[in-house]
Amino acid sequence: MLKQKFKAQADKLGEEIKQILKEHGDTVIGEIKLSQIYQGMRGMIALISETSLLDAQDGIRFRRHTIDELRQKLPKAKEGGEPLPEALFYLMLVGEIPTKEEVDTLSAILQRRSHVPMYVYETMKALPTETHPMTMFVVGIMALQAESVFAKRYAAGMSKKDYWEATFEDTLDLIARIPHIAAYVYRRKYKEGKILHPDGLLDWAGNFAHMLGYDDEEFKELMRLYMVIHADHEGGNVSAHTTHLVGSALSDPYLSYAAGMNGLAGPLHGLANQEVIKWIFEMQRELKTESPTSEQIKQYVEKTLAEGKVVPGYGHAVLRKTDPRFIAQMEFGKKHMPDDPLVNTVWRIYETVPPILQSLGKVKNPWPNVDAHSGALLVHYGLVEYEYYTVLFAVSRALGVLSSLCWDRALGMPIERPKSVTTAAVKRWLNKE
């Protein structure tokens, strides 16, 4: 049903795009400044991504729904709880909020497709346990690539008109299997390889929490919220853009997603969540207190900046106010753990850091992003192994980047190939040579 619904919507949008391009294909929508090509292409509109849109002030909207609205409107595992991430996947894919029944069907489909062959676990097991969890995770995804429907059908001579369908099949398989690979990485690295069997009656995120070894109902709720808020952040961020770019060469969804996750593993992107908690632990150790005062935090931030480092979890390339994903986690903290010292420290950092960054005069966004909060919530429930945090981000990000990839193939997006120039060429334009 979901597949047919997606195909019908893709055909409709495909026709509309054809018409738009026929009538307005030559319309100029902006100008490019020289500075932009040297400075990370900030603000340059260069991509189409149907699943979400980021506003500098309001934050992310998934198919026009804010994080707040998603928390109210998406079906939940339990009354008054957090939304089900597979419901967000459904929304991103077809633009409709599913009923609880539709989400339950999707959860059951994902359970059925979740088998990971033994050779994938053996491949990850061959790595030394000191390997970073993100490396283990991506190695697992790469090993699983042998299962790609797209790759097999392409090798057998698949027609262009079927690309979307093979991508759709790989997307569902991957989303179903990713939590198993991620849970294996955690259990192998931190729990002496004691693997936990899935619970076939649980939803996607609830089962992931269970396989990690956290059966507390509140932790399952945290996982549902976490998997929703990290899922997508429009198309230009490193993980989404990389997945899209690699997919544009018709690399299958396994290859494309793995490439994107290598980008997520960078400290200026998804790895910032581990950097935040590491930074806070170091601050606590150095100041010999679990709950540093605002004045102590201020001095520690100034020391961090003086050492030529960034304050992790603060700043953003697009956002210009507090990330609504930070606020959603703050609300979760206020509801479930208002007195937790580490969570309170995160809130005190939030009061202290923005004016300091503002005073530097160069930081465009002094406010916290999603990564500033997530670690403290995980530590509260005992998930203290912070090197693992980016893997959680990667599991969630699969929902956004893979639904986007389905759209790319359904809309027949071409290989991406922007033009680059040398500085010598720039100087020639400017008549400096």
Stretch that binds ligand FCX, among 47-55, 60-68, 155-163, 315-323 (CB under 6 A): 315-323
Question: Is residue 317 close enough to count as binding ligand FCX by CB under 6 A?
Answer: yes
Kindly name the residue from 210, 371, 373, 408 that is annotated as catalytic.
Answer: 371
- Amino acid type, 365: N
Question: Is residue 409 close enough to count as binding ligand FCX by CB under 6 A?
Answer: no
Contact assessment for residue 67 and residue 324, using Cβ atoms and an 8 Å cutoff: yes
Contact assessment for residue 138 and residue 258, using Cβ atoms and an 8 Å cutoff: yes
| Alpha helix (H) residue ranges in 145-216 | 149-155, 163-190, 204-212
Residue nearest to ligand FCX (CB): 315
Q: 46 or 268: whose CB is closer to ligand FCX?
A: 268
Question: Is residue 432 close enough to count as binding ligand FCX by CB under 6 A?
Answer: no
Stretch that binds ligand FCX, among 116-124, 245-253, 368-376, 421-429 (CB under 6 A): 368-376
Concerning whether 24 is annotated as a catalytic residue, the answer is no
Question: Is residue 308 close enough to count as binding ligand FCX by CB under 6 A?
Answer: no
Of 251, 274, 369, 390, the residue at the interface with ligand FCX (CB under 6 A) is 369
What is the DSSP code string of 234-271?
Answer: -S-SHHHHHHHHHHHTT--HHHHHHHHHHHHTSTTTTT
Residues near 65 by beta carbon (within 8 Å), at least 6 away in sequence:
73, 91, 97
Question: Is residue 362 close enough to count as binding ligand FCX by CB under 6 A?
Answer: yes
> For tokens 């509140």, what's the residue?
218
Distances (CA, A) of 268 to 238, 290, 411: 10, 26, 31
Distances (CA, A) of 206 to 73, 83, 99, 212: 19, 11, 19, 10
Contact assessment for residue 151 and residue 144, using Cβ atoms and an 8 Å cutoff: no
Q: 210 or 241: whose CB is closer to ligand FCX?
A: 241
Question: Is residue 371 close enough to count as binding ligand FCX by CB under 6 A?
Answer: yes
Of 363, 411, 413, 426, the residue at the interface with ligand FCX (CB under 6 A) is 363
What is the DSSP code string of 333-399?
Answer: HHHH-TT-HHHHHHHHHHHHHHHHHHHHS--S--SB-THHHHHHHHHHTT---GGGHHHHHHHHHHH
**Shortest approach of ligand FCX to residue 273 CB, angstroms?**
7
In our burial notation (b when 16+ CB lie closer than 10 A, e otherwise), range 62-96 reads bbebbbeebbeebbbbeeeebbbbbbbbbbbbbbe
**Shortest approach of ligand FCX to residue 171 CB, angstroms?**
22
Q: 272 or 337: whose CB is closer to ligand FCX?
A: 272
Concerning whether 371 is annotated as a catalytic residue, the answer is yes
Stretch that binds ligand FCX, among 131-139, 163-171, 359-367, 410-418 (CB under 6 A): 359-367
Question: Is residue 229 close enough to count as binding ligand FCX by CB under 6 A?
Answer: no
Kindly name the residue from 132, 233, 241, 269 that is annotated as catalytic.
Answer: 269
Distance, CA of 430 to CA of 408 (rounded, Å): 37
Of 313, 324, 333, 354, the residue at the interface with ligand FCX (CB under 6 A) is 313
Kindly name the residue from 316, 323, 373, 380 that is annotated as catalytic.
Answer: 316
Given strand 65-66, what is the order of strands in its sheet? 52-55, 59-62, 65-66
Of 73, 364, 427, 428, the residue at the interface with ligand FCX (CB under 6 A) is 364
Question: Is residue 315 close enough to count as binding ligand FCX by CB under 6 A?
Answer: yes
Six-digit token string for 74: 């998406």
Q: Is 313 helix (H, G, I), strand (E, B) or coil?
A: coil
Question: Is residue 41 close enough to count as binding ligand FCX by CB under 6 A?
Answer: no
Q: 148 or 369: whose CB is closer to ligand FCX?
A: 369
Q: Give me the 262-301 binding string for ligand FCX, x by CB under 6 A, dash otherwise.
A: ------xxx-x-----------------------------
Concerning whether 65 is annotated as a catalytic residue, the answer is no
**Shortest approach of ligand FCX to residue 309 CB, angstroms?**
7
Distances (CA, A) of 370 to 89, 161, 305: 19, 38, 21
Of 312, 324, 333, 354, the residue at the interface with ligand FCX (CB under 6 A) is 312
Question: Is residue 390 close enough to count as binding ligand FCX by CB under 6 A?
Answer: no
Do β-strands 52-55 and 65-66 pair in parallel, antiparallel, or remain unpaired?
unpaired
Q: Which residues bind ligand FCX (CB under 6 A)?
A: 237, 268-270, 272, 310-317, 357, 362-365, 369-371
- Residues carrying an active site annotation: 269, 316, 371
